Amino acid sequence: MRLLILPVLAVLAACASHTGVATDAESVSLPKTEYQIHRGLTYTPDNWPQALKADIYQPSGTEPFPAVLVVHGGGWERRSPDDMESISKRLASHGFVAVNIAYRFAPHYQFPAQLHDLQQAMHWIKRNADRYGIDPEQVSALGYSAGAHLVSLLGVVAGTGSELDQPYGGRETKPVAVVAGGTPSDLRKFTGGTLVLQFLGGTIDQVPETFAAASPVVHVHKDAPPFFLYHGSSDLLVSDDHATDFRAELDEAGVYTELYLLKWRGHLTAFATSGSAIEEAMRFLRRNKD
């Protein structure tokens, strides 16, 4: 069975559409390096409602390195940073410090608690940059599914002075670039199910303003960071119009955006076969340094 699966994965990996790359974009090489892992580091303040941990994947070599805040999916209610270990290792092996974090879960903690967790993580990364060989001016963010929603929201609200940017945000929490896969960019498109309801504390009829506030697409502005969006073209859980509509809004605002569509893949298979997307995302991160 494994011998049958491998050729299928290889074919899928070759089937993708990548748009938005500037015609004069520099071809970026990805250096290979060894790395070490620091596990179970608490990144939240002592008085935070829940102590939250991060695993750091730190490259070897000449410091400082660009860093990437890595955020897992799971419908805002489950899963763990273990899901992002492979991606974190890949980032570290190509010269990025990967900071792979846990965050609080719904329904016990509802929006915007999870955004506040990411904001604390960004502050922690900046404070500890020297310790882990991080360039504090080159911190990006990457997530998949619910994690992609959170890093996208972080990117578009950071430094705006808006309600979601206070009291834990500010310009220091703004990623220099965002990589978002399988992104629920407009939560107003979800009219059923339980995941969004328990995350936001009600249905769209009950809390329409919360559905809008929690949707990254609503907060797009001209000073948002560059975005690399990747998505399965056959995603039935988070339809690909979340990616195309989000990209259209970013383009309209003049924000540099690349879209990488993984053909014939659904929500889980796009994550499981995202190797080519992650490679292009790393090139995107190298091209879009602050």
Q: Which two tokens stand for residue 208?
A: 């329409």
pLDDT of 6 reads 45
Tell me what pLDDT residue 29 has: 84
**What residue spans define the domains of the chain?**
31-287
CATH of 31-287, one of 3.20.20.120, 3.40.50.460, 3.40.50.300, 3.40.50.1820: 3.40.50.1820
For the record, the structure tokens of 255 come out as 């924000």
pTM here?
0.94
HSE-up of 115 (CA within 13 Å, CB side)?
A: 27
pLDDT tens track, the chain, 290 positions: 444 344 444 455 558 888 878 766 667 889 899 999 999 999 999 999 999 999 999 999 999 999 999 999 999 999 999 999 999 999 999 999 999 999 999 999 999 999 999 999 999 999 999 999 999 999 999 999 999 999 999 999 999 999 999 999 999 999 999 999 999 999 999 998 999 999 999 999 999 999 999 999 999 999 999 999 999 999 999 999 999 999 999 999 999 999 999 999 999 999 999 999 999 999 999 998 75
Bridge partners, residue 69, by sequence: 99, 141
Other CB atoms within 10 A of residue 201 CB: 13
What confidence score (pLDDT) does residue 25 get? 67
